[in-house]
């Protein structure tokens, strides 16, 4: 079975722009979570979706948003990019409701100049 | 969520056993103890989890103290590929907090040949 895939793997943007990252979960998985990883803050939870509904949201500003489609694929969007948004964005999928094992993708490395 | 405390880093020699400790003195009765690890340039991956009894799988063993206030992840024979950051995470199985994982700083394991 294919693992979690994330596109693009690398992205360079400038301040003020917006960006959309995509995540395809493992086939059959219905829960998708997003995390931000930075050297200073470590791994932080952004949000979780299950069956197209946001179940949980981390402590991030409203510039960070996401959605999940009927095929469980998910996208996250960051608007008005700031330098501090430079990070590795990780997507994880789970088969069902918690507490289920999370399977992580390789991440999207976003650099904001 | 109850917090965990882990040493920042540990060193091991290749092919020797490694014991990675984790303290979780405020653990509740419904918290599972999960371990994930993150290899360089990859997303985190699940290692093992347990509630009260010691657990074994093909990757590692998990030893849980009788009072559950601490646990130890055991790698029986460390290889160079085991060099990673290991995260000890508590997950509430009852309060339905979603699949989100709360990562601490983890322990960076270095394996010497």
User: B99 vs A99: CB contact, 8 Å cut-off?
Assistant: yes
What's the confidence (pLDDT) of residue B4? 94
Q: Which residues from chain B sit within 8 angstroms of residue A100, using beta carbons?
A: 99
Return the closest-CA partner of residue A52 out of A30, A25, A35.
Answer: A30
What's the confidence (pLDDT) of residue B102? 87
Average pLDDT for residues B45-59, to the nearest whole number? 93
- A46 and A64 Cβ atoms separated by less than 8 Å: yes
Distance of CA A54 to the CA centre of its chain: 12
User: B32 vs A58: CB contact, 8 Å cut-off?
Assistant: no
CA distance A44 to chain B (A): 7
What's the confidence (pLDDT) of residue B97? 63
Residue pLDDT, tens place only, A30-51: 999 999 999 989 999 999 999 9
Q: Which residues from chain A sit within 8 angstroms of residue B46, using beta carbons?
A: 101-103
User: B98 vs A42: CB contact, 8 Å cut-off?
Assistant: no
- What is the C-alpha to C-alpha distance for residues A96 and A108, in angstroms, rounded to an integer? 24
CA distance A79 to chain B (A): 23
Residue pLDDT, tens place only, A54-66: 988 999 999 999 9
The helix, strand and coil proportions of chain B, stated in percent and rounded to the nearest 5, come to 5, 45, 50
Helix H or strand E encompassing A109: strand A108-112
CA distance B90 to chain A (A): 10
Substitution target in A99, A100, A107 with the highest count of B β-carbons within 10 Å is A99
Q: Which residues from chain A sit within 8 angstroms of residue B91, using beta carbons?
A: 98-99
Q: Which two tokens stand for residue B30?
A: 């419904």
Task: Centre a 10 Å sphere on the Cβ of residue B32 and count the other Cβ atoms it contains.
Answer: 15
- Alpha helices (runs of H) in A13-106, residue ranges in sequence order: none
Half-sphere exposure of B61 (CA within 13 A, CB side): 12
């Amino acid at each position: 079975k294919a693992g979690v895939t994330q596109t693009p793997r690398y992205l360079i943007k400038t301040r003020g722009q917006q960006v959309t990252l995509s995540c395809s979960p493992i086939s059959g998985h219905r829960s998708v979570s997003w995390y931000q990883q930075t050297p200073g803050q470590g791994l932080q939870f952004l949000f979780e979706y299950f069956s197209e509904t946001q179940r949980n949201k981390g402590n991030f500003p409203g510039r960070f948003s996401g959605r999940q489609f009927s095929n469980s694929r998910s996208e996250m969007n960051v608007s008005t990019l700031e330098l501090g948004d430079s990070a590795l964005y990780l997507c994880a999928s789970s088969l069902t409701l918690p507490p289920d094992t999370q399977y992580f993708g390789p991440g999207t490395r976003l650099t904001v100049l | 969520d109850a917090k965990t405390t882990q040493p920042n880093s540990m060193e091991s020699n290749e092919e020797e056993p490694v014991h990675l400790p984790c303290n979780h003195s405020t653990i509740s009765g419904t918290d599972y103890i999960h371990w994930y690890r993150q290899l360089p340039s990859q997303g985190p991956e699940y290692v093992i989890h347990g509630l009260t009894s010691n657990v074994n799988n093909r990757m590692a063993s998990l030893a849980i103290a009788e009072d559950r206030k601490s646990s130890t992840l055991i790698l029986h024979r460390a290889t160079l590929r085991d060099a990673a950051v290991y995260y000890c995470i508590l997950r509430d199985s009852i309060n339905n907090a979603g699949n989100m994982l709360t990562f601490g700083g983890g322990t960076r394991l270095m394996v010497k040949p």
